[in-house]
Every structure is written in structure tokens, then in C-alpha cells.
Structure 1
Amino acid sequence: MCAPIMATKIPDAPKIGMVSLGCPKNLVDSERILTKLRSDGYQMSADYAGADVVLVNTCGFLDSAKEESLEAIGEAMAENGRVIVTGCMGDEADVIRAKFPQVLAVTGAHQYEQVVNAVHDASPPIPNAFVDLVPEGGLKLTPRHYSYLKISEGCNHRCSFCIIPSIRGDLVSRRIDAVLREAEKLVAAGTKELLVISQDTSAYGVDTRHEPRMWKGHEVRAHMTDLARELGQLRTAEGRAPWVRLHYVYPYPHVDQVIPLMALGLLTPYLDIPFQHASPNVLKAMKRPANEAKVLDRIRKWRDICPDIAIRSSFVVGFPGETEADFQYLLDWLDEAQLDRVGAFRFEPVEGAAANDLPGAVPEEIKEERYQRIMEKTAAISAAKLQARVGRVLPVILDEVGEPDEEDGSVGATARSQADAPEIDGNVFLRDVGDGRKAGDMIDVRIEDADEHDLYGVPV
């Protein structure tokens, strides 16, 4: 008689909760941290109660963001009590510990090894040879069909309102072959849209003197134009070119070279350019290039080459010293530029920023009044541009597919056009998408209606 087979009991792995705040670059940091922890045997927890340790990846760019980060830390402490803090606000460990002395550890931005070590100390991993811990391509915090591709860290600019260089340091570019290898793996794993991010995408490779590497049998430089060209060669499992969306693009001269790639369909016709203002006086105070007239001429040329290009930007109103004439200059510039997507922010002092010491502080009520005026102006521009798309057939990517209607069985969906980056731009709301559609599907739709920010349509 054979002895009974004793089943091996797999020990319960410690569980990690994660709260990720701030920009997409922080999200990529969170993904890398979780991927490393998953490879070390940790499980992920969807709530505070089930976590052995909670990580809070903070944002420290604005005082309001710091307040949000402190609130998130407080909530995690109240709900769980075992909290590790990382991210941009980690550089202010004294502030965090003064408010929450019981936090287990505090680390700074992109200090992956320190974060992982802190987790190991707080809740040691349990070795387990029977479980495949990390999926191909690592862990993702975004939906499967789109992914952020971070190409560099830090920034060489010294804008007077910004403290990012003091938090994340000067520009450090990743190797071009490493970036392309990651992009290839993401697309192979199901990514249909790559969102290229950094603090300054246009400056990619400046720190390495655009060091070349071999890729697919030929040499490519660590340069935005080479990167864009190579990303345009990727194909999904269905044989389609994935959408490749460029974010945080400073309008350096070589940006002109990527516009023809958009016209050829190799890049998504979309540029995210942080103009911040248009008045030469304000741009000088911000320590940013004041070439707004040349930019207008270049935008016109870009649209001649690629008529469907969508340009998004953000602007700061109420910057110290901004006069009514400066603000009106910005509004007139926007009339000329006709940007497709615009966000605006009221100036907010950030501890450590040089702008805090500038004269001519703008009263809060004037900031608010200017904010309302710029949002009204840009909403009108957006509404007119979207109305011009009514009747056209556009490609979209599905983000969410609804349940069949109880009465007629019709299915609606939320999608985005090539002019819409996830989370920050508009949507395309669809009716009658039919059965079998899923998030990540790319389909053509006819636009039937529009409002100030969104489109409405039906599949063709």
C-alpha cells in the first residue's frame, strides 16, 4: 500500500497596499516598485485591511499636492497603521514625521532600492519556489491597453516656479535600446497605446551626448527623433501600429522633425507642450524661453504638414508680476494658436521655488477671475474645434464597454480619439457598439455630436 501523498502547503505571502499620487511619472515609479516586490514574493492588497504594509507614493510639486499627500498618509495610518512613504514629498521627511511619527520609513523620489529594503524590514518576504510571481512585462497600474513609457528622469531647466530639479535632480536618460526593448515587450503583452513621458522629452539623450546603441541590426541614438522613428515601427498582435503619444515636449527646433512621422501615421498626431504662458514679460520671470511668435509660426507649419495634429498645453495664471496686459496678451495668443486641449492653473507658491521671492504678487481674487476667463476662452475654442469633427469618421480606442441596456439590449462605450490622452483630455461617448467589444479595441466611429470637451458617435 502506497503512502499517502502529502500536499505542500504554500505559505501565505505578505501583502502590500499602494496609494499612488501625482503625475504619470510617479505612476511608473509605483509600477516598478510593485514589480520588484512581486518578484520578491509579495502579494498585492486592494484595500487597507488586507495589507501588511501600505506604500504611499507622494506628490510634492504644489502645496495643494502636499496637502493631498499628507491626507493620504493620514488615511493609511488610520486604516492600517503600517505605512511607508516615498515619492517627491519624501524629501521633506521631517514634515512627514512631525505629523506622523509612527510611519515606518520615508524615502525620496525614484529611490526604488530604499523602498524595497524598507518593505523587507517591515514585513520580510517568504521564499516560495512554487509560484510564478511576476507576469511578463511587470506589474501595471494602468489598464492593459495603454502604458506609460518613461524615457528619462530629472530636468536641466531651472524654471522659477518649479522645484522638480531639486527633488529629482538633473536629466538622466535611459539607454535607447533599453527603452525600445521595454516598449516592444509592452506592445507584445497587449499595449495598444504608449504614452512617452519624462520631465523633458525633447531633451532625451542630451546628458549622454545622444549615445548610440545597436537595435535590430542598426544604430540608433538616444535622441527624441530616433526614438520616435523606432517606436513608429512597432506593431500589435493584430498588425496595427500602436498609438504613440508624446508628452512633456519642449518646442526645441528638432521637434519639427517628428511632425512628418505623424502625417505618415507612425506617431499619434498629438503633442503635449508645456507652454505655461505667452507674455514675454511673464516667460522671462518664469525663466522660460520667450519665443511665442516663432512658436505660432511653427504651429501653423505643423498643421500644414499634419492637419489633424492635436496640441495640448497648460498655462499658469496669476504669476507674480503678471499684469492685466500680460494676461490679455496670453488670451490673444490663444486666439492665434487655437490649441486643441488646454489646462490652466492658478499660481501657487511652492516651498523652495525662486518665484516665491518675486515682487508683484497677484491677489487671489484676480487669480480666480483670470482663471475663469482663460477657461471660458479655451472652452469656446475647444467647442468650435470639436464641432468641426461632427460628420467625420475617426479612429478611437475603447476604454470601457458598458452592460447591455435592459430594455433594448444596446451597448454603450467610453472611448478616446487620437486627440485625447487618458485621464487629462476628453472622451468619445459611443452608442450601439454591438456585442463582443472590449477595452483596448480600436475601431472607426462616425461623430454625431460634440460639446465643449467631448465627442459623441457610433461605430461605422
Structure 2
Amino acid sequence: LKTDGYQVASDYDGADLVVVNTCGFIESAVQESLDAIGEAMSENGRVIVTGCLGKDEDKIRQMHPNVLKVTGAAAYQDVMEAVHEYVPAPPKHNPFIDLVPEQGIRLTPKHYAYLKISEGCNHRCTFCIIPSMRGDLVSRPVGSVLEEAAALKRAGVKEILVISQDTSAYGVDTKYKLDFWNGQPVKTKFFDMCEALGQLGIWVRLHYVYPYPHVDAVIDLMAQGKILPYLDIPFQHASPRVLKLMKRPAHSENTLEKIKLWREKCPNLVIRSTFVVGFPGETEEDFQILLDWLVEAQLDRVGCFTYSPVEGATANDLPDHVPEEIKQERY
């Protein structure tokens, strides 16, 4: 929008149009998105809706029938066309627009930036609807990823946060296709990408990593100081029975062994994770297994959520849903 000459207003009164970026992952996020649309309609009245929830246009229009346009996730061109339709772009040839830096315009602070390496996910976790919203895994060419990272470094970025829905699966969909960067061959593969990023001389932090076997080699890069000794791993639970109900690609005993091995290789490794309590069928015994696992794992940072039904998720059909008051007790 900025490169087309538009300015970002600081409040509703100063805006000709409001773009609401939504989330449709869990019910609380859906409600928050619908509330945000309602607020924008009330305060401004000219609203374009985009993001994951945009896939369910009927739900949005049922509550907010007068929104101007509804688009889906990553529908950048559709959003731009809608904005152009309702608020014509300013004249071109503005030197402040024509001289857009090569790294583009970011909304994060100057010292760090997000680097998205893929879209979608090949897993079918029962509580999640990301594959139905974003599709299966589609990895960016590694040359493109590395060039963006290099451009961010040239722009003064000191830390890159690597993100995707499943970072450690990067390149699986391409069968680790060979690409080129700086004239050198590089495979579209998790380790190879991390190794190349580690050569840039800036901090590289990995998010949303599953504990696949090939992650072990990346720990070696951390031990060597090539990338930050940090992993964000969504373990979600520790009870084997609950993990099976979730259809998670990990086993609690194996992950404890992994964590032990990783810390032996890289003693200053920091691990962050998130967990769900109150998943359908979770018993007191399952919950205690999770608590015991956390004591043994000694993770550095932990986030916790109560299970929330998601429309379209297969977990909704599981028996023995946990009462809300018990969810809150466990939380």
C-alpha cells in the first residue's frame, strides 16, 4: 500500500478505508476478528476484510453484510485491487515512493525482521485447520529466501526470525530441489538454508520447529555459533495418548531424549514451547504426565492455552470433551 502511494492512518477518523486482517484458527481468534470488523464498521464504515477468516465469507457477511470486500489469506493482489477500487491510488512518480528500498517496507522495528520460508502444512493435527485454510506445504526457493535475508542485513537488520507453519519440513515438497545463491548451489533444505543463513553474520532465530531427526544437525550449527541457540517447538502435550488423539508427529519419551542430546551438544540452548490443556479425552492422569514431563524437560519458556473448538477441526468429533471449569483449573 505504501509503495502505491497510500499512507497509513493512525486512527479511524483519518482513514479513507480500513483493512482488517483476520485469523480463523481458533474460535476466540474468530470472535476477536469479527469484533474488530464490527468496530471498524462502526467507527469508519468502509471496510475490506482479508486473512484466514476471509475463506468463510458467509460467516463474515452474516454478521457484517456491508463490508466492501472479503478476501482470503495471502490475497495481496485482491486486497490491492479492492483498495484501488474504493480509494484510487495517488499519482505516481513520487520520489518517496519510487525510491523504495530493496528490502521493501517493514512494520517491525529496524533491528529485527521476520523471514517466511514456506506456506501451508502437510500434517493433519486434529485440532488444527491450517491445511484447509493455507493448503499443503509450499516452500519458497532457497535462493529467494537467502536473497531476502541478505537484503535485510544490508538494510541494517540485526536479527532474522525464521517462520512458517512447519519450519523443519522446509523443502520436503520440492524434494530438496537444488537452487543457487551468490553463484553457489544450495539445496532447498532446512539444514542447508540454516547453514547459509549462518554465514550472513547476523542473528538467526528459528520458530515453529518440529523435532524431526534432521534437526540434530542444526544443533551443531548452534553449538558452533553459526545461528542462535534457540528453538521454538510446539510440543503441545506430553501424554502419548493425547498426542495420538491430536495426531502429533512426536512421542514424549523421544522428545525428552532429543532435548537431552541437544543440550549435551549445545549447553546454552534455549527451548520455548506451547501446550494445550483440556483437549478432548484428556484425563487427570494425562495432565499429570504433562506436568511431570515439564519438570523433567526443564524448558526455558512455556506458553499454555486451554483447548478451544475450531470449526472444521476433526477434534470436535472426539468423545469426552473436558468441561470448561476443569480446563481453567488445569490452565
TM-score range for the pair, normalised by the shorter chain length: over 0.9
Moved over 3 A (4+): none
Alpha-carbon contact 2:211-2:250 (below 8 Å) kept: no
For the residue of structure 2 that corresponds to 1:65, the secondary structure is helix
Aligned partner of 2:214 in structure 1 is 254
TM-score by length of 2: 0.97
Please state how far the C-alpha of 1:83 moved relative to its aligned partner: 0.7
Aligned partner of 1:168 in structure 2 is 134
Equivalents in 1 of 2:258, 2:84: separation in Å? 52
Aligned partner of 1:101 in structure 2 is 65
Alpha-carbon contact 1:320-1:362 (below 8 Å) kept: yes
Q: 2:145 aligns with which of 171, 179, 183?
A: 179
How large is the Cα RMSD of the aligned pairs?
Answer: 1.1
Please state how far the C-alpha of 1:233 moved relative to its aligned partner: 0.7
Equivalents in 1 of 2:153, 2:41: separation in Å? 38
Alpha-carbon contact 1:49-1:79 (below 8 Å) kept: yes
Alpha-carbon contact 2:111-2:158 (below 8 Å) kept: yes
Aligned partner of 1:65 in structure 2 is 29
Q: 1:197 aligns with which of 155, 163, 175?
A: 163
Alpha-carbon contact 2:243-2:251 (below 8 Å) kept: no
* Unpaired segments ≥5 residues, structure 1: 1-36, 235-240, 372-460
Larger mean Cα displacement after TM superposition, 190-199 or 91-100:
91-100
Q: 1:61-106 CA deviation, whole Å, 9 max, x = no partner?
A: 1111111111111111112111100001101111111111111100
Please state how far the C-alpha of 1:109 moved relative to its aligned partner: 0.5
For the residue of structure 1 that corresponds to 2:115, the secondary structure is strand
Letter in 2 for 1:119: V
Aligned partner of 2:322 in structure 1 is 362
Alignment of 1:228-307 (within 5 A): 228-234=194-200, 241-307=201-267
Q: 2:277 aligns with which of 317, 331, 334?
A: 317
Alignment of 1:112-191 (within 5 A): 112-133=76-97, 134-191=100-157
Letter in 2 for 1:143: P
Larger mean Cα displacement after TM superposition, 72-81 or 268-277:
72-81
Letter in 2 for 1:77: M
Equivalents in 2 of 1:246, 1:290: separation in Å? 19
Please state how far the C-alpha of 1:131 moved relative to its aligned partner: 2.5
Please state how far the C-alpha of 1:271 moved relative to its aligned partner: 0.3
Equivalents in 1 of 2:95, 2:36: separation in Å? 32
Alignment of 1:208-247 (within 5 A): 208-234=174-200, 241-247=201-207
User: CA 1:135 to 1:81, structure 2 compared with 1: closer, same or farther past 3 Å?
Assistant: farther
Letter in 2 for 1:293: E
Letter in 1 for 2:175: R
Equivalents in 2 of 1:174, 1:344: separation in Å? 31
Higher relative contact order (CA 8 A, sep 6+): 2
For the residue of structure 2 that corresponds to 1:57, the secondary structure is strand
Equivalents in 1 of 2:296, 2:272: separation in Å? 14
Aligned residues with identical type, % of pairs: 66
Aligned partner of 1:82 in structure 2 is 46
User: CA 1:290 to 1:270, structure 2 compared with 1: closer, same or farther past 3 Å?
Assistant: closer
Letter in 1 for 2:225: G
Letter in 2 for 1:233: Q
Alpha-carbon contact 2:178-2:185 (below 8 Å) kept: yes
Q: 1:111 aligns with which of 71, 75, 79?
A: 75
Please state how far the C-alpha of 1:290 moved relative to its aligned partner: 4.2
Q: 1:183-236 CA deviation, whole Å, 9 max, x = no partner?
A: 1111111111100000000111111111111112321011110111011111xx
* Unpaired segments ≥5 residues, structure 2: none
Equivalents in 2 of 1:38, 1:54: separation in Å? 14
Letter in 2 for 1:160: T
Letter in 1 for 2:161: L
Aligned partner of 1:427 in structure 2 is none
Letter in 2 for 1:96: I
Equivalents in 2 of 1:179, 1:290: separation in Å? 28
For the residue of structure 1 that corresponds to 2:96, the secondary structure is coil
For the residue of structure 2 that corresponds to 1:147, the secondary structure is strand
Please state how far the C-alpha of 1:128 moved relative to its aligned partner: 2.2
Please state how far the C-alpha of 1:141 moved relative to its aligned partner: 1.4
Rg larger in 1 or in 2? 1
Aligned partner of 1:410 in structure 2 is none
Alpha-carbon contact 2:126-2:247 (below 8 Å) kept: yes
Q: What number of residue pairs does the alignment pair up? A: 329
For the residue of structure 1 that corresponds to 2:95, the secondary structure is coil
Q: Are 2:14 and 1:54 aligned? A: no
Aligned partner of 1:42 in structure 2 is 6
Please state how far the C-alpha of 1:38 moved relative to its aligned partner: 2.1
For the residue of structure 2 that corresponds to 1:232, the secondary structure is helix
Q: Give the helix-richer structure, 1 or 2.
A: 2
For the residue of structure 1 that corresponds to 2:89, the secondary structure is coil
Equivalents in 1 of 2:101, 2:227: separation in Å? 28
Alpha-carbon contact 2:280-2:322 (below 8 Å) kept: yes
Q: Give the strand-richer structure, 1 or 2.
A: 1
Letter in 2 for 1:84: I
Q: 1:330-374 CA deviation, whole Å, 9 max, x = no partner?
A: 111111111111111101101100000100111111111111xxx
Please state how far the C-alpha of 1:274 moved relative to its aligned partner: 0.7
For the residue of structure 1 that corresponds to 2:228, the secondary structure is coil
For the residue of structure 2 that corresponds to 1:233, the secondary structure is helix
Alpha-carbon contact 1:278-1:290 (below 8 Å) kept: no
TM-score by length of 1: 0.70
